[in-house]
Amino acid sequence: MTELPDGVWTDVVGQPVVVAELKQAVAHPASMTHAWLFTGPPGSGRSVAARAFAAALQCPAGGDGTCHACTTALRGTHADVRVVVPEGLSIGVAEVRELVRMAGRAPSQGRFQVVIVEDADRMTEQASNTVLKMLEEPPPRTVFLLCAPSLHPDDVPVTIRSRCRVVPLRTPPAEAVAEVLVRRDGVDPTLAAWSAAAAGGHVGRARRLARDEDARASRKAVLDVPLALVSLAACLQAADHLVAAAKDESDRTTAATDGAETEAVKASLGVGARGPGVAAASRGAGQLKELEKRQKSRATRVGRDSLDRALVDLAAFYRDALLIAAVRGQMDRVPHLNHPDRQADALELARKIGTEGALRRIDSVLAARTALEQAVKPQIAIEAMCVALRLPA
């Protein structure tokens, strides 16, 4: 087993080259720069690496993982480490302007003022332009850490990318993911190995599969879809189930948060109070409407993210069928399956649709992902996809 990174780097899974590069920057100021761009596929640990780097930059010992600077930076409570996590479909210019204003201040406690933007690919054009201006004229002792899936111009404008040092992360190997589930989360080794393989190296999803029976049931329901699409009625029914499952996850995820946020705002406005509180509450109606708008946007994002995970699983399953069909079912010649626990189903699917059919269906799944990104109604996009995935008679 490879040696684990120490201190704040412990949970940066399967990225030894990245950890070495970031340690070098922390230890040697000549290797440091004011803007970093962490890229990598979903689940590779972009934001985990960025938070660990922020903690190491603030730590007098370079990231020992035990001091006040490290622990508060990793928890997101350090006064000089600011984290932007998009709650809705995008990161707007108003949010970024406030962030830039605070980033211009001198550090109050730490060595740097560190700004982490998770999912920087969700910044609007105006928000990206605001960040670009800051990167062109960076304040002293301020470090920007941006996280995005790739270097594609649709994810990160070239103008921003050219002003950042790029840190590419890879999909961690299943063995490394399983190890961290056992060590950090106390998961049974057998379940950890299955979860890591089923998640395709996505650390967060592997943890969810290992700890949440509902997540395992949802994955099974998605992977049952391809062999169930034997008629038009079955296609429409499968689409209904996929969309309903995403909405259910969205409702469960946002219900508790929305209620607490709404009550907190009402309390701050004096809703239900008498005397002077009545006037304050009436003036706060706009704040409640704005909160409701943000909550609705967040619910939409959670639902679409849930659907996207399902589509990624489907595309990976059809890829398994494609490989099996290409080698004519000789499993010893298949290099790797995305869903090894569903090998028998992938073998049957390969027999039914062949290589050309698998390729067409992968294209259909990817087209549905694109449609969702372009704000097509989920029901329409998923119904069209399921009809295209229908098995041949």
Backbone phi and psi for residue 84, each to the nearest 5 degrees, phi listed first: -110, 115
Q: How many residues does the chain have?
A: 393
Residue whose tokens read 């992968």:
362
CATH of 7-168, one of 3.40.50.300, 3.40.50.1860, 1.10.1520.10, 3.40.50.1820: 3.40.50.300
Least confident segment among 46-60, 184-198, 243-257, 276-290: 276-290
277 pLDDT more than 60: no
In 163-237, at which residue ranges do the beta strands (DSSP E only) sit?
Answer: 165-168
What is the distance between the alpha carbons of residues 131 and 160, in angstroms, rounded to a whole number? 8
In this prediction, residues 44-64 reach a mean pLDDT of 93
Are the C-beta atoms of 124 and 95 separated by less than 8 Å? no
Neighbours of 315 (CB within 10 A): 18
| Structure confidence by residue, pLDDT tens digits, 226-248 | 999 999 999 999 999 999 998 88
Q: What is the pLDDT of residue 46?
A: 93
| CA dist., res. 69 & res. 65, Å (int) | 9
Which amino acid, 280?
Answer: A
| Range of weakest confidence among 94-98, 220-224, 329-333, 374-378 | 329-333
* DSSP code, position 65: S
pLDDT at 328: 83
The mean pLDDT of the chain is 87
Cα angle: 291, vertex 83, 79; to 5 degrees: 105
325-371 pLDDT, tens digit per residue, is 998 867 777 778 889 889 999 999 999 999 999 999 999 999 999 99
- Is pLDDT of 212 > 60? yes
Least Cα distance to 311 among 225, 201, 186 occurs for 225
pLDDT of residue 4: 45
pTM greater than the 0.85 cutoff:
no
167 close to 32: Cβ distance less than 8 angstroms:
no
> What does the domain layout of the chain look like in residue ranges?
7-168, 228-388
Model confidence at 270, pLDDT cuts 50, 70, 90, reads low
Is residue 181 exposed (0-12), middle (13-18) or buried (19+ Cβ within 10 Å)? buried
